[in-house]
């Protein structure tokens, strides 16, 4: 059974909000990691995908840890 998306954005966030949530990117190091969408795994945990708007790297973090 594949992961079930909870919230899905079909577009890539091109511009970040001025006061938005930002994190350092694990690949390029810029402060450009922005939240993209939520998904659930088979154990029903919620994960948020964070995507870098500069280099398009991503990482998944548990939603309670990324809040």
Residue 3's nearest CA partner among 44, 40, 36 is 40
Task: Output 64 or 5, whichever has higher pLDDT.
Answer: 64
Output the pTM of the full model.
Answer: 0.64
Contact between 53 and 34 (Cβ < 8 Å) = yes
- pLDDT, one tens digit per residue, over 13-64 is 555 555 567 788 989 988 888 888 888 888 888 998 888 888 888 899 998 7
DSSP 15-32: S--TTS--B--TTT--S-
Number of domains in the chain: 1
For residues 25 and 54, the answer to whether their CB atoms sit within 8 Å is yes
The predicted structure's pLDDT at residue 1: 47
**Phi then psi dihedrals of residue 12, to 5 deg:** -90, 135
Can you give the pLDDT at residue 37? Answer: 82
Q: Domain span at residue 29?
A: 4-8+17-66
């Amino acid at each position: 059974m594949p992961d079930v998306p909870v919230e899905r954005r079909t577009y890539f966030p091109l511009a970040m909000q001025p006061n938005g949530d930002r994190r350092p990117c694990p690949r390029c190091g810029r402060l450009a990691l922005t939240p993209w969408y939520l998904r659930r795994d088979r154990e029903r945990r919620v994960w948020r995908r964070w995507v870098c708007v500069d280099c398009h790297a991503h990482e998944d973090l548990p939603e309670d840890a990324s809040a």
